[in-house]
Amino acid sequence: MAARIPVTLIPGDGIGPEVAEATLEVLEGVGAPLDFEWHTAGVAGLKKEGDPLPKATLESIRKTRLALKGPLATPVGGGFRSSNVRLREEFHLYANLRPARTLIPGGRYEKIDLVLVRENLEGLYVGFEHYIPIGDDPHAVALASGVNTRAGGRRINEFAFDYAVKHGRKKVTLVHKANVLKALTGLFLETGREVAKKYEGRIECDDRIIDACAMQLVMNPWQFDVIVTTNLFGDILSDLNAGLVGGLGMAPAGNIGADAAIFEAVHGSAPDIAGKGVANPLALILSAAMMLDHLGMQDKAKRVRDAIDHVLCVDKIRTGDLGGKASTKEFTKAIVSRVK
C-alpha cells in the first residue's frame, strides 16, 4: 500500500470551512492517500489561538512541507498583517501559480487556457510602508517602497520557463512596467530576457507593459500562454484571468517554494455569502488537484478534473455564481459520485 502523506489543512475564514469540507470529500472520493493535520490562521487563528498565524500551524507546515488552505480574512487599512503574505514569506513560497481554464462552454470567452506565474515575495508587497504626519493629520503622506532583486527575478523567470517546458507550453510573456518603474520592474524584465535566452528555440518569449497586457487580455486572451510578472501585477492579472473563465469561484492557485508548497483558492473569504451553503467549492477543489499533480498523482488529479467537467457540462449541476441552483453540498455530492 502506498505511504500516506501528511498535509496541513487550514480551513480558513468565511466560506473557507464550507469549501474545505467539500474538497476533503472529493479527495476522499478519489482515494488520495492524505492525512490532514487541522490548523487555524487568519481571523479563526486569532479567535482560537490569539494569533492570526499560530505557532502550531507554522510547526505543522514546517513538518509536512505541504498545506491546503482556505481563504484567510485580512482587515483593510489597519489591523494585523496578511497571514497569506506572512505564510509565503515564512516558507519562501516564491512562485504563485495561477492557471485559468474555461470549464463551462458558452460563456463570454471560449477555450481559455492560460497560466499566470506571479512573483510572490518581492515587489510592492514587501510591506515597507509608512505614513508621515504633518500638522494634525497623522496620515498626511503615505510612502511605500518596492524591492525586486536580480536573484528573485531569475528565480521566478526560471520557474515560469521551466513550467512551460514541463507542461508543453509554447510561449512565455514577461509583463512589467519598465517604461515608468524603470528600476523596480526594469530589473525583472532584464532578468526575464536573460532567462529567455537559455530557452531559445524551445520556448518563445515576448513582453508587454502591464496596462496594455490588461487590455489585450480582455480583447484577445488567446494570444497568451504563460504569463510571468511581478507581485502586484500578478495579483491583479490573476483576478482578471479568473474573470475570463467565469469568476473567482473557479480559480485555483499554488504557492510553491524551495521549503514548502501551499495550495489555495484565489478567492477570499466571501463574507457576503459565508454560512449560507451556496459557495462554489471548485476553486479549492481545483487547487487540491494541483496539489495532487505536485505530489506526482497526476492520474488522481485528472480524475478530479474530469469529474468536474462532467458535472458542469454533462450533468449541468452548478452553483449560483455559475448560473445554477445547486447548494455547495449538492454540487459536491455530484462531483464525489462522478469521481468515484
Task: Give the residue numbers annotated as catalytic, written as ranges.
Answer: 125, 177, 211, 235
CB of 204 to ligand NAD, least distance (A): 31
Q: Is 335 in the site for ligand NAD (CB under 6 A)?
A: no
Which of 22, 72, 227, 260 touches ligand NAD (CB under 6 A)?
Answer: 72
Site string for ligand NAD, 286-325 (x = CB under 6 A): -----------------------------------x----
Q: Is 164 in the site for ligand NAD (CB under 6 A)?
A: no
Binding residue count for ligand NAD, defined by CB under 6 A: 21
User: What is the distance between the alpha carbons of residues 302 and 339, in angstroms, rounded to a whole number?
Assistant: 10
| Nearer residue to ligand NAD within complex by CB, 33 or 127 | 127
CB of 164 to ligand NAD, least distance (A): 25
Q: Is 71 in the site for ligand NAD (CB under 6 A)?
A: yes
Which of 269, 300, 301, 304 touches ligand NAD (CB under 6 A)?
Answer: 269
Q: By the 8 A CB rule, do 56 and 47 touch?
A: no
C-alpha cell at 61: 507546515
CB of 15 to ligand NAD, least distance (A): 6
CB of 45 to ligand NAD, least distance (A): 12
User: What is the distance between the alpha carbons of residues 290 and 117, in angstroms, rounded to a whole number?
Assistant: 14
